[in-house]
Amino acid sequence: MIAGTARLLAIPCLIFFLLITIPVIAAADSYTSAAMWGSQGSADGQFAYPAGIAVSGTGVVLVADNSNNRIQQFSQTGTFQKKFGTRGSATGEFSNPWGVATDASGNIYVADTFNHRIQKFDPSGSYLMTIGSGGTGAGQFIDPAGVALDTGGNLYVTDYGNGRVEKFNPDGSFAAVWGSMGSGNLQFYDPVGIAVDKSGNIYVADTYNHRIQKLGPDGSFLKAWGSQGSGTGQLDYPWGLALDSSGNVYVADSWNHRIVKYTPEGNWLLSFGSDGTAQGQLKYPEGVAVDSAGRVFVAEGGNHRVQVFSPVFSGGMIAVSSVPPGARVILDGTDTGYVTPCTLTGIAAGTHRVNASLARYLTATGLVPVIAGQTAGIRFNLTPPPLPGYSSSPTDPDNDGLYEDLNGNGKAGFADVVLFFQQLDWIAANEPIPAFDFNGNGKIGFVDVVSLFNEVQ
């Protein structure tokens, strides 16, 4: 909440927003089964308890065919393309592989679970390297299950038997480890699925605790959601986990035979699937992946098949961004649980009020007309609150992210230096720190006044 007097809070917010219309890519109202392939067996295109699944940037579908000890590759419509791997412990061999993931170059990472290692392959399936070994030390595993890559090519692994998450550098060297066995925050009980968002936040399917945990890029605990059950938002042995381009979280809720979708903050959105063998039904889903078009790919361990679900929409979408990013998005007076940038889906046609709220910035508001089947975009420029005695917000005359114009007259000068010095304590307590941290040390103090003085001379 922005500190200050009621008079300051009543000042109209200075915002800029741009409305655009683009073709809809995905929606969040419901999902329908669009394709299905596979049956129990060991022939090409058959499976024996498929576990992990991934969709590469080029649209290739990779499946960890667990009990057949191999990786199979398909087109997005289920056409078999190739396979690699056989049972064993030599390089290129597997013992019940579980997780599979790809990096930006198309390289393939496989959690070779009972060999207690990760194996890396090039896009053709040729062996490249092994990461890790059996044990409890740093960089070692007991039954690694899930694998994920961040935008920098760093590898994240759920160390199932050790109850923790490990991170490795792109060259395979050990980087960090987080967590321990247990049920508290940042503790895990046989974790399986893992995914990393664009900001580096880590999502973990804490399987036997029947919940999802969200960690920061440094491995710090952020939040957890879920409890054992079959109700809305509850989970019963969540296995696989994936994110879409908006950061929504998809969970293979295995023993409930469904996929559950949450916002990035853990708010329940919807679920689909039920126990059965017919198309659209699921039996013990274990792996889940989402492609760039929003289609959801599910590896069904119980039905020995892959099923693809396409989004169905009845409303429109609102793409929301802000400068700076990270503002909470409020739609028609209700906190959506999303932060900018994000896309709100399934929005009823008509005009909607959107607010973007960020601590120590003025909350910005805009009206957005929504058309079914289309995306409307709104972009907010959030501004700091005016200083005491002034009606205009500080501005950033040179667009460098620092607000040199403290009195809001549109230019930086010596008067702003004097004002900074006079209101230093108030600014430190009420204004967004990055906007006035001129020396870049992460806090506001007298040295920032000196830095501003040197800049305006």
Report the chain (457 residues): mean pLDDT per 10 consecutive residues: 27 30 42 96 98 96 98 96 98 98 97 98 98 98 98 97 98 98 97 97 98 98 97 96 94 98 94 97 98 94 97 85 94 93 88 95 95 88 96 93 95 96 96 94 95 91
**Residue 245 DSSP label:** T
pLDDT score at 27:
39
**Residue 282 DSSP label:** B
Neighbouring residues of 226: CB distance < 8 A, sequence distance ≥ 6: 210, 211, 212, 233, 234, 235, 238, 266
pLDDT score at 457:
80
pLDDT score at 13:
32
Cβ atoms of 250 and 62 within 8 Å: the answer is: no
Nearest one of 60, 69, 38 to 277, comparing CA atoms: 38
Neighbouring residues of 178: CB distance < 8 A, sequence distance ≥ 6: 164, 165, 166, 167, 186, 215, 219
